[in-house]
Every structure is written in structure tokens, then in C-alpha cells.
Amino acid sequence: MPPSSRQFRSSIDAAAQAALLDRELGLARLELRVVRLRQRESFRSAVGHRESRAALLVRWLDSAGGFGIAECSGRPDPYYNEEFLSGSLSLIRKFIVPLLDKRMTVRGLQQELGRIRGWNFTKAAVADSALDWLRRRGIHDLLDDWPAPRLERIPVGISLGIFPDSRQAIERVEQALADGYRRIKLKASPAAEMDVLRSALDACNGSERAIDANGSFSIEHMEMLLGLTRDGIDMMEQPFPPDRLDWHGGLRGGLGGTRLCLDESIESIGDLQSAAIIVGPHELNLKPGRVGGQLEACWLLQSCLSSGMGCWIGGMFETGIGRLANLRHAACLPDATAHDLSPSSRYFERDIVMQPLEMDDDGTIAIGNADPVELDEQAIDEMTEHKEVLEPGR
């Protein structure tokens, strides 16, 4: 029998958490790289259009040739949140590296990163590269402290962009259903043709149907949104801008059978508590980087599991490195029907990990053995657009 949330007893053991926080992080240098991966298909959403994925990789290097690695999930432009790739590089260079100390602990790193407001994707990339170093060295694996059984197969859904016409929309939905995806999530915007969205929704044909507006609707679109829920959408994600918890709260009561999900609004455990009071969302799209990294993601996971709020893991078109990290969190959620973690082979002609993740016909990804992801260093080198190695400030 698969584990279920009913087996979830308590939060991560306090002693285990304290032990993790006290670990020393043998830091010698920090490497920043920007790699560019070619996409198989372009993608349009309310926050922009993309043809290729520039990914920022952060490597935590020790003095013995060991490393930890993490991918920054942020976009190249500040249209999803305030972060943008060249800004992330600048923040790390100017404000993070000077705060790093060769003998610092996880707690010290958390404290220093906590002084910087916002920029969670960027801070997460640094913090998670340190946690990955602890894991690769066999010192401590944060998720081994998780207090419940973890899944070995993760059910995944697909996030589809805004389509130029109904024919293309229907074709793409049908293909996704044939591929076996457990949920179809369609990007929506008030500027896009509603008829195209409706035909895509119709094509979903009994499978779980979701829309994601990336905060592009406003209070004057309330009727339009309520109309969409009457079309039988199962889930609606982030219709209003991140700071409009009040509007989300107003919509919540009129939703009928449609579940309301928040994404951009939730950047911390505090945001989650406030949203629980003001909005009462049915579920959370949890992107570990958006809340500051894997440690914080565990706190939000625990909060959702103990309060009964639905939770699933979201993506930002990560490479295999970020994808596998997020899949490990998805493994902690036995009741989620689908996560936005479609295999990176869907987007990229070539990934930068040795075993690119593949989805089986039943719409699940097996996360395999517990070993850290093996990098395709040659692919990384070939795709590198920028590289710099920085010395910690202290």
C-alpha cells in the first residue's frame, strides 16, 4: 500500500534539524555558471515568451575537489517575480559572497541570507548548493530527516503555454493526454482568446483540468473568472497579482467545485499563514526556490500536511538538476494527484545530467536510487555562456 498523509506523524525531528543547522560547510570557492539549453518548442504565458532556457548553476566548492550544486529557478526577466538572471549574478557577487565565511555553518548561512529581502530563487540556489555539498559528502541529507515514507514514483502533469489558435491547442492537449500526463494545466491571460482556451479545456476530455493565469487578471475580470469555473475547471492557479490576497479571498466563495491554488503569492511560511486566513486557498503550488530553498520548502510542506491544505510541487522549466531536486520534495506528498514536473526531455534537445528523467506511460517519473544527480560535465561546458569563480569574503 502506498504511504499516505495519514502516516504523517510529526514535523522533522527537532534534534535532526538542529544537527543539520550546526553542520560546518567547508567552503573554498563559489562557482557561478550560466548555461543555455535549446528548447524543443517555444512557450508563451502571461509572463512572457521563451525559446531557450538560460540556467544559472551555483557550485559550492571545497578545498579537496568536492562540490555541491544547485540551479536557480528564476527567469531571465523580472516578470514572474522581482528576480532576473543578470540581477541574480550581481546579487551573489555583491551581497552574498562577501557574507560567506569559510567555516560557516548551515545556520550561519541561513542567517546571512536572511538579511537580504526577497530574491528567494537566488538565495535558494546558494543555500541549496551548500545542502547538496553536505549530501554528496555523505554528511547529512535534509530529506533523510523527513518523518514519513517517501514515494518512489512521482505523478506528473504538464503545463501548456498560450496557443495562437484552437487547432494547435487541441492537438497539443491530445498529445499530452496520449503521453499519459496526469493533469493538463493551461496558461491563461485576459489578453488571450477565450475561445482558444475553451477548446483546449474541452479537449481535456475527463482528465484533470487546470488553468494558471500567473496573476494576470484583475478585479474587473471577476465575472470572466467565475464564467470559467462554471465551465468545470478543476483548479485555478494565481488568477490575481501576488499581493492581492483580498481579491483571491473574494473569488474563493464563488468558485463552486473549482479549487483555488496560489503560486506567486506565497514566498514564505508567513505568506502561507496570512493566505490561510485571508484567502483559504484549497492548495499551494510549492516551488522550493520561491520560498528560499529546500529547508524552507520542508517547513511549508509540513505546514500544508498538518493543516490539510493541498500541496504539490511546481516548476520553472528547470534542467535535470533543478528537476530532480524538486522531485525529491514531491516524494514527500503522497496525496498530490500531479506535480508540474514534466521530464526535461520534453523541453530540451539535450539536458545537462547523465540520466535525463523520463516519464513512464502511466504519467509517473521514477526517481530511482537516492544518489545525487550525476552531471554531464561535457554538456555543461559546451553550453556555458558565462563562468566565474568567487572567493568567500571571510
Rounded CA separation 160/172 (Å):
8
Site for ligand OSB in 44-63 (CB under 6 A): 47
Residue 316: name its binding partner from ligand OSB, Mg ion, none (Cβ under 5 to 8 Å by kind): ligand OSB
Three cell numbers written together for 148: 514519513
Q: What track of x and - describes contact with Mg ion for positions 231 through 250 (by CB under 5 A)?
A: ------x-------------
Rounded CA separation 90/337 (Å):
38
Candidates 108-116, 248-256, 314-322, 353-361 — which segment interacts with ligand OSB by CB under 6 A? 314-322
Q: Which segments of the chain does DSSP mark as H helices, in order?
A: 14-22, 85-91, 106-114, 120-136, 166-179, 194-203, 222-230, 245-252, 269-278, 294-307, 320-330, 377-383
Query: Residues 26, 155, 293, 314: which binds ligand OSB (CB under 6 A)?
Result: 314
316 contributes a contact to ligand OSB by CB under 6 A: yes
Three cell numbers written together for 92: 551573489
Contacts with ligand OSB by CB under 6 A: the residue count is 12
Candidates 4-12, 73-81, 149-157, 261-269 — which segment interacts with Mg ion by CB under 5 A? 261-269
315 contributes a contact to ligand OSB by CB under 6 A: yes
Cβ nearer to ligand OSB, comparing 263 with 376: 263
71 contributes a contact to ligand OSB by CB under 6 A: no
Enumerate helices (H) and strands (E) in the chain, giving the number of each.
12, 13
Cβ nearer to Mg ion, comparing 30 with 236: 236
212 contributes a contact to Mg ion by CB under 5 A: yes
| Least distance between ligand OSB and beta carbon 339 (Å) | 9
Three cell numbers written together for 101: 565565511
Candidates 64-72, 101-109, 315-323, 349-357 — which segment interacts with ligand OSB by CB under 6 A? 315-323
State the burial class of residue 75 (Cβ atoms within 10 Å of its Cβ: 0-12, 13-18, 19+): buried
Cβ within 8 Å of residue 240, ≥6 positions away: 213, 215, 217, 218, 219, 247, 248, 251
351 contributes a contact to ligand OSB by CB under 6 A: no
Cβ within 8 Å of residue 162, ≥6 positions away: 44, 45, 46, 187, 188, 189, 192, 196
Cβ within 8 Å of residue 111, ≥6 positions away: none
263 contributes a contact to Mg ion by CB under 5 A: yes
User: 161 — phi, psi (to 5°)?
Assistant: -75, 180
| Least distance between Mg ion and beta carbon 68 (Å) | 28
Candidates 86-94, 100-108, 268-276, 313-321 — which segment interacts with ligand OSB by CB under 6 A? 313-321
267 contributes a contact to Mg ion by CB under 5 A: no
| Least distance between ligand OSB and beta carbon 341 (Å) | 6
| Least distance between Mg ion and beta carbon 237 (Å) | 5
Query: Rounded to a whole number, what is the largest CA-CA distance in the chain?
Result: 61
Candidates 91-99, 268-276, 308-316, 353-361 — which segment interacts with ligand OSB by CB under 6 A? 308-316
Measured at CB, which residue is nearest to ligand OSB?
Answer: 315
| Least distance between ligand OSB and beta carbon 62 (Å) | 31
Rounded CA separation 360/372 (Å):
21
List, in sequence order, every residue forming a beta bridge with 34; answer none if it has no partner.
Answer: 56, 386
Three cell numbers written together for 16: 535532526
Three cell numbers written together for 139: 554528511
Element (H, E) at 57: strand 48-61
Residue 234: name its binding partner from Mg ion, ligand OSB, none (Cβ under 5 to 8 Å by kind): none
DSSP string, 250-273: HHHTT-TTPEEEESTT--SHHHHH
Query: Residues 234, 263, 296, 376: which binds ligand OSB (CB under 6 A)?
Result: 263
212 contributes a contact to ligand OSB by CB under 6 A: yes
Residue 294: name its binding partner from ligand OSB, Mg ion, none (Cβ under 5 to 8 Å by kind): none
Cβ nearer to ligand OSB, comparing 294 with 319: 319
27 contributes a contact to ligand OSB by CB under 6 A: no
Binding interface with ligand OSB (CB under 6 A): 47, 80, 159, 212, 214, 263, 314-317, 340, 342
Binding interface with Mg ion (CB under 5 A): 212, 237, 263
